[in-house]
Structure formats: structure tokens, C-alpha cells
Structure 1
Amino acid sequence: MYSQWVLPLSAAVLLALIYAVKHSRLFNLFDHELHHLLVRRHDGFGWQIIAFICDPKLVVVWTVLLASYYIKNDQFMTGFWILGTLGITDAIGIVMKKSIRRKRPNEHLTLDAGYSFPSGHVLSSTILMLILLQLFGAKFGWVFGGAIIAIWLMVIISRLSLKAHYPSDVIGAASLAIFCFSLSNQVLLVIH
């Protein structure tokens, strides 16, 4: 499904963003200004619903249900691959948040606590999207794939619109998810 360049490219983007967020005042100023240009309003009940539906804790529940289905149907490798992919990705995201300690935009909702980089919502929804596309994309076709990608894009827009994250936070989360997903696919190929 993925070509050989996805793993190193996603790693390079992620590492460049980590370095820039941690060490470049100019980059952070640019990120802040870009966020300000992209997001004019701080509202949107619809965006709050999208953020709730794709909350990382809820994505874990959906992923456990999906994995349970595969395990129940004697597809243990697929079930454990689903759990492992999300679990490792989320764990790395949590460690990164606590290590980088980037503050959220000033105007964020008090509902969004914790650090900003990488976005947990975008991280978990990207992993879930990639898993769903891998498992069901060929079976259900382009309409399914388009719907999944549309929902994923709405999650990204919701995190920016609700001023919970800077643009680099969502790009970093997507890069981390793509990196972890690509790596887990490589491991699955070796094990299988």
C-alpha cells in the first residue's frame, strides 16, 4: 500500500518539526501567525462534536472494538496488529507531549488541557483512518475511502478552529501517525 519513501519522509518531517518547535523562535512565530491567518473565529459547536467523536479516549474504545471483532473471528494477528499500532503510536505521542511541553494557543478552550505538540486527536484519528483504509479500503472502494479522509480532515480543521493546536501540531501528529503505521506494517510483513 505504501512505497518505500513514506517511512523516511514522515520521520524527516517529524524530526524537523520537533527541532523547529523546540529550538526556533522564528518558526514558532511563523506557526503562530499562520494559525492566526487560518483561524479567524473561535466557535463552532459542530467542530466541538467532531472533536468529541474523535477524542483519543473514544478512538481507543473504537479500536478495541474493532480488534475484538478480529480476535473473536480467529484473526489474532490482525487484532493484535490493530491494538499494537494504536497503542504504540499513542504512547509515543504522550511521551512527545510531555517531553516537548509546547503550550497551546492562548485562545484555546479550557476544556483542552495539557500540551499542544503533537495533537492527540489528530494522532489517534490518523492512525484509525490508516487502519480502516488498510482493512476496508479495497473492499468498500473510493466512497468509503473518501468518507474516511473527509472525517479525518474535519478532525484537523476542528483542532485548528477550536484553537487547540497550531498548524505544526497537526502536521506533526499526522507525520508521527504515518511513521508509526508504516513501521507497524513493516513489522507485520516480517512476522507474517
Structure 2
Amino acid sequence: MRIDIISLIISGFVLLWLILNILFSPSFNRFDQALHQKLVKTQKNIFWKIIAFVNEPKLVIVWDVLLAGLLLNDGNYPLALWTLVTLGFTDGAGFVIKHIVKRNRPHAHLSEEEGYSFPSGHVLGATTMCLILYALLRRVLPEFFSIFLIVYWLFVVISRLNLRAHYPSDVLGAVALSVFCFTVVQSIYAALFLQ
């Protein structure tokens, strides 16, 4: 329970700090743009586009529904509901924050990338799904599974930067929001079903 409170405080603080700096600090935005230009040196290629496609926010919803369906098929209704609520709550919060911050995407982003930049929807969905999968499977799968999830998640992060779709703070904000929302829903689930 103490870890949950620490996760909530740290992720909430990071998220709020990023939002305030993006909205009100020109020097932070210049730094973020300069960091983005330094990080993005490679050419866009098909591998990163495939990673981005597989983690398209609408497709992540499909993965989540399929996972919930597997849990329902196993008769685990509370976990199925938790899986759907976790991603739904996180995506809803991401949508609201995108429309509050209204940050434009970096210059030279792909023309098919639409919408606002902060937070990254791809990273938000990938982080949330990785947290859900880890929570569900950490006790039954080997340690290698955790490493696989981290590598998979890193590929999504790199793809969003490599495709010039997001600034570094967009990615960090998505991770902070995902951890915050995951912790909230996990705490509520634990209070309702794990007593």
C-alpha cells in the first residue's frame, strides 16, 4: 500500500510539473525541442512504423478487449472489468489532458499523425498494457517476461521519438499519467475485491 501512495505522489507530481511547464514556460519548451532534435538523428524506417501501427491507441483498445475476453472466458469477471476500466480510465484522462494542453506536434512529424502531442497516446496505451500484463502474469511467467515487456515498451517510446511524433516530455508525461491512473484503478480494485 505504501508503494501505491509513493507511485501516486511521484507520477502525479511529474505529470503536473510537465503540464505547467508546457503551458507556461517558454524556456522549458525550447529545451524540450532542442532535446528532441538531439535525440532524433536516425532516419524513419519501416520497423518503427510497424511498432507504431501495432500500438495505435485504437488497436490497443482491441488488445485490451481481447485480454478481458480471455479473463471472462476463464470466469474471472473482476479482473476482466479491472482490465477494461484501467485502460478506459487512462485513455479518458489522456484525452482530457490532450485537450487542456493542446500542444502541437513537433515539426517534420508524419502527415498521418493527427491530434495534439501531449501526452503520447501510443506510449500511454503501451505503458498501461505493459503494467496490466505484468500485474496479471508476473507470478506465473518467468523473469524473462518482465524483460520482454520492458524491451517492448522501449521500442514504443523510441518509435514515437524516431517518427518525430512527440517531444521527450510527451513520452514522459504519458508514462507518468499511465502510472498514476494504473495505481488509482489498482488501489480501488484491491479495496473492492482483495479484502
Aligned to 1:6: 7
**Deviation string, structure 1 residues 123-168 (Cα, Å, up to 9, x no partner):** 0000000000000122112111111110100000000000000000
Matches within 5 A, 1:132-143: 132-143=133-144
Structure 2 partner of 1:69: 70
Over 3 Å off, 4+ runs: none
Matched to 2:132, the amino acid is I
Quick one: structure 1 residues 2 and 104, their matched pair in 2 at CA, closer, same or farther if it must change by over 3 Å? farther
Distance 2:6 2:69 in 1: 32
1:22 matched to 2:32? no
What residue in structure 1 maps to residue 105 of structure 2? 104
TM-score for the superposition, normalised by structure 2: 0.96
Describe the superposition over 1:36-89 as per-residue Cα deviations: whole angstroms up to 9, x where unpaired: 011113411100000001111111001000001111222110000000000010
The secondary structure found in structure 1 opposite 2:190 is helix
- Counterpart AA for 2:175: A
1:94-126 residue CA offsets vs partner (Å, 9 max, x unmatched): 111111100000110001011000000000000
Contact 1:137 1:145 survives alignment (8 Å): yes
Q: What is the letter of the counterpart of residue 79 of structure 2?
A: T
2:189 is aligned with what amino acid? L
Does 1:158 find its partner at 2:159?
Answer: yes
Tell me how many residue pairs correspond in the alignment: 192
Name 2:53's counterpart in structure 1: 52
Q: 1:101 to 1:144 in 2, by over 3 A?
A: same
Greater Cα offset, 134-143 or 61-70: 134-143
State the AA in 1 paired with 2:135: Q
- 3-state SS of the aligned residue for 2:18? helix
Structure 1 residue ranges without an equivalent (≥5)? none
Cα root mean square deviation, aligned: 1.1
Take 2:93 and 2:19, find their aligned partners in 1: how far apart are those partners?
A: 13
CA distance 1:73–1:172, shift in 2 (3 Å) = same
Q: For 2:27, give the aligned amino acid.
A: L
Aligned position for 2:35: 34
Unaligned runs of 5+ in 2: none
Aligned residue for 1:140, secondary structure, equals: coil
More off after superposition, 83-92 vs 2-11? 2-11
What is the alpha-carbon distance in structure 2 between the residues aligned to residue 182 and residue 110 of structure 1? 34
Give the secondary structure class of the aligned counterpart of 1:132.
helix
- Distance in 1 (alpha carbons) for counterparts of 2:138 and 2:112: 34
Query: Equivalents in 1 of 2:179, 2:9: separation in Å?
Result: 10
Q: Percent identity?
A: 44
Rounded Cα–Cα distance in structure 1 between residues aligned with 2:94 and 2:178: 9
Whether the 8 Å contact between 1:2 and 1:182 is mirrored in structure 2 is no
Alignment CA distance shift 1:2-1:149 (3 Å): farther
